[in-house]
Amino acid sequence: MKIKIAECKRMVVKVGSSLVTDEGRGLHQAAIDQWIDQIVILKKKGYEIIIVSSGAVAAGISRLKWSSKPQALPELQAAASVGQVGLVESYEKAFRKYRVNTSQILLTHEDLANRTRYLNARATIKTLLRLGIIPIVNENDSVATSEIRFGDNDTLAALVTNLIEANLLIILTDQDGLYNLDPRTNKDAQLVKTAKAGDDRLEKMASGLPGSHLGSGGMITKVIAAKRAARSGAHTIIASGREKNILARLVTEEKIGTLLVADKIPLDAKRQWLADHLNIQGRVYLDQGATIALLKEGKSLLPIGVRKVDGNFSRGDLIACIDPLNKEIARGLVNYSSDETNKILNNPSKKIKQILGYIAEDELIHRDNLVLT
Ligand code: GLU
């Protein structure tokens, strides 16, 4: 498959701790400035970019003048809490020159595993992108207990890639990419230029390779992240964040680092995700207008097009859409519970607030969360 990086219009850029903090010496403003200079240019060219940045713990350790990374979780969390302030401040500073706004999003595993919060996080990030803001995501280290931790930001970056259906995940690290052997001990080690994301051999290759002493991942978490990103159709590039103009050069198709190719097109991936991960919790019966809007016009499902509700579902559940001939035509993640849907069906969206006293979304199922069956 011929991959055109320039056509990957929505991308997640993940930056590792050792890059952001100059190997633990403290926040590396010059490096952050350099990435942001490139990101602002890409944004002007129409790319949508989300940054997943590590470095909170490492920056905290350096601000607290600790000599090494602590082992105990509360100390790591305290360090993250101190460091996160400096981390976003550094990004803010870099963006301010260009009068581009940035925002901070801190996530835990629970936020993405719980479907309601999943929809909320997704709606927020998509809105930020629409407003031209470049969000900066990190794990919510200071509250995450071990069960709800991602543990490493490579995993977090892959899940964010799935969440907003980005086309590309760029993992910037302090190495040139994935090597077939450990380059520290093998003169013959060769950079893997391209491979299929999810190829089992990559995990074997990566498992012996070093990570930095500051981050929590290594090559193995990056290779697994690429496999995850590929589930929603995104390709991954692992490359050195120290290469000059790295992002701009990747987008002009320069071959740098390791490209791990997704073999599914995004729409199929989404269909599969909906099919694999969720059971149908209910049905809504549509009128002719809504059926045509979904099938022919590529529109979202509005409450006004629904005649009847069947089943007991909550916001974020998967439900089926049934046409007037009793045939399932689509499936999607619903924005309102079955009780709420029963109250607002047959009504224009502008009346939702009046009926329920609040409004989550105008759509019952947003087009982005819907697939035709
Ligand atoms: N969330 C952690 C931090 O910002 C880093 C996790 C990782 O090393 O990937 O310090």
**Tell me, which fold does domain 5-271 have in CATH?**
Carbamate kinase (3.40.1160)
CB 17 near ligand 1, within 6 Å: yes
CB 21 near ligand 1, within 6 Å: no
What is the residue-averaged pLDDT of the chain? Answer: 91
- Residue reference for tokens 């952001």: 20
In this structure, how many other beta carbons lie within 10 angstroms of the beta carbon of residue 324?
A: 12
CB 163 near ligand 1, within 6 Å: no
Kindly give the distance from the C-alpha atom of residue 80 to the centroid of ligand 1, in angstroms, as a whole number: 8
- Annotated domain spans of the chain: 5-271, 280-372
As a whole number, mean pLDDT of residues 267-275 equals 63
Does the domain made of 280-372 have the CATH classification 2.30.130.10?
A: yes
For strands 258-261 and 194-196, give the pairing: parallel
Query: What would the pLDDT profile of 25-35 be if each residue is shown by its tens digit?
Result: 999 999 999 99
Kindly give the distance from the C-alpha atom of residue 103 to the centroid of ligand 1, in angstroms, as a whole number: 18
Atom of ligand 1 nearest to the CA of 151: 6
Task: Output the pLDDT for position 3.
Answer: 85
Task: Output the pLDDT for position 211.
Answer: 64
Task: Output the pLDDT for position 272.
Answer: 62
Q: Is 360 helix (H, G, I), strand (E, B) or coil?
A: coil
Q: Please determine, for residue 205, whether its predicted confidence score (pLDDT) is greater than 90.
A: no
Share above pLDDT 70 across residues of the chain, in percent, rounded to a whole number = 93
Query: What would the pLDDT profile of 34-68 be if each residue is shown by its tens digit?
Result: 999 999 999 999 999 999 999 999 999 999 999 99
CB 152 near ligand 1, within 6 Å: yes
Kindly give the distance from the C-alpha atom of residue 56 to the centroid of ligand 1, in angstroms, as a whole number: 6
Residue 37 · residue 44 · CB < 8 Å: no
As a whole number, mean pLDDT of residues 201-217 equals 75
CB 153 near ligand 1, within 6 Å: yes
As a whole number, mean pLDDT of residues 142-160 equals 86
> Among 79, 104, 78, 107, which residue's Cα sits nearest to residue 90?
104
Please choose from 138, 156, 174, 238 the residue to mutate so as to test ligand 1's pocket, defined by most ligand atoms within 8 A of CB.
138
Top pLDDT among 327 and 270 is at 327
Calculate the CA 3 to chain-centre distance: 20
98: CB partners within 8 A, 6+ apart:
36, 40
Share above pLDDT 90 across residues of the chain, in percent, rounded to a whole number = 70
When pLDDT is cut at 50, 70 and 90, the band that residue 212 belongs to is low
pTM comes to 0.81
CB 80 near ligand 1, within 6 Å: yes
Task: Output the pLDDT for position 105.
Answer: 97
Considering only the C-alpha atoms of the chain, give the largest distance between any 2 of them, rounded to a whole number of Å.
70
The CA radius of gyration of the chain, in Å to the nearest whole number, is 22
Query: What would the pLDDT profile of 94-131 be if each residue is shown by its tens digit?
Result: 999 999 999 999 998 888 877 778 888 988 999 999 99
Q: Please determine, for residue 266, whether its predicted confidence score (pLDDT) is greater than 70.
A: no
Alpha helix positions (H), the chain: 17-20, 29-44, 56-63, 73-96, 109-113, 115-130, 153-163, 200-207, 219-231, 246-251, 266-277, 288-295, 338-344, 352-356
Give the residues across from 370 on adjacent strands: 332
CB 56 near ligand 1, within 6 Å: yes
Give the residue whose CA is nearest to atom 7 of ligand 1.
Answer: 152
Kindly give the distance from the C-alpha atom of residue 18 to the centroid of ligand 1, in angstroms, as a whole number: 10
First to last CA, the chain: 27
Please choose from 142, 216, 222 the residue to mutate so as to test ligand 1's pocket, defined by most ligand atoms within 8 A of CB.
216
